[in-house]
Amino acid sequence: MKFKTIQLFTTIAFIAITSLVYTGCKKEDPKPKNANAAADNSNAESAFAGIWKQISTVTDSSNALRSPATGCASASITPFDLVTWPKTVTINFGTTNCMGSDGNNRRGIITAVFTGPYLDSGSVITVTLSNYYHNDYYIQGTQTITNKGNNAAGHLVFNVVVSGATVTHPTDGRSSSWNTNQDREFYAGYTTNFNIFDDVYLIRGSANGVSMEGESYSIVTNSDLQVNVGCHWIVKGNFTLTLASYPTYPIVFDYGTGVCDGNATAVLDGTTYNIYMY
């Protein structure tokens, strides 16, 4: 049974919010003029989602591991058998940019230690990075993925924690920090092993960080974010972004009711802004 890559799409068009400019502010009642922190969160989300996607190219849902080869990178599995655990998977993209099938450039090394087979409840995958770059952004941090087993509905759930992450700008040297704790539920499509496009995931959890401009922020999902792998956008659910400097002006971002159309809304101080996610 071929493993179907979890395509998170958890950038969730945060960058779209940055186009909102809020005007008419009173001096005694300041409102956020932008949400640049959302773009920094998006960069971190994209990088770490991509890291797990790369690791998944050398894993298999039959509790085996594929041969150590992945695109323009080299990979090794130690020990390379079906019996001994833990196993260490190392993916080396080299010292120059390596363009992946997802259109992202990577260089550096990803190391993942598996305590057990991917599909086994309780298995933990710990991911570390060495001189790793994603689209020329320098990425640091530790990602821990834990198989939580099946929920009451029989759906497999993974807990994903990223701690101590930093993302450094490729030209000006500014850095943002980022942490997240999410549960990702494999909601539908798991019975069709050779068709990833009917896969549906539900994502819930929180994130926090400090933007490259020094703005602290936090994000929490209010209702599960629904990811249909066959759709370019998240189709349902909402989250709240709160800037520490403007705690009384949270921004609520909503994806709608499940239609794959790229339309969403952002609500600030009672005003709704229509957004199209490119």
Q: Looking at the chain, how many residues does it have?
A: 278
Write the CB contacts of 17 (distance below 8 Å, at least 6 apart in sequence): 35, 38, 241, 251, 253, 266, 275
Query: Which pLDDT score is estimated for 187?
Result: 85
Q: Are 240 and 225 in contact (CB under 8 A)?
A: no
Domain residue limits, the chain: 14-25+32-276
Phi/psi at 29 (5° precision): -140, 65
Averaged pLDDT for residues 213-230: 88
Write the CB contacts of 44 (distance below 8 Å, at least 6 apart in sequence): 162, 165, 167, 176, 178, 180, 209
Task: Give the range among 27-31, 120-124, 145-149 with minimum mean pLDDT.
Answer: 27-31
Distance CA 61, CA 44 (A): 27
CA 70 → CA 39, 91, 113, distances in Å?
A: 29, 8, 17
Q: What percent of the chain has pLDDT over 70?
A: 77
Is residue 21 scored above 60 in pLDDT?
no
pLDDT band at 34 (very low <50, low <70, confident <90, very high): low
Query: Which pLDDT score is estimated for 207?
Result: 93
Dump pLDDT digits (tens) for 168-218.
Answer: 999 999 999 999 999 989 888 776 765 666 778 898 999 999 999 999 999
Is residue 82 scored above 70 in pLDDT?
yes
pLDDT band at 67 (very low <50, low <70, confident <90, very high): low
The pTM (predicted TM-score) of the whole model is 0.79
Take residue 12 and report the two structure tokens written for it. Answer: 């969730």
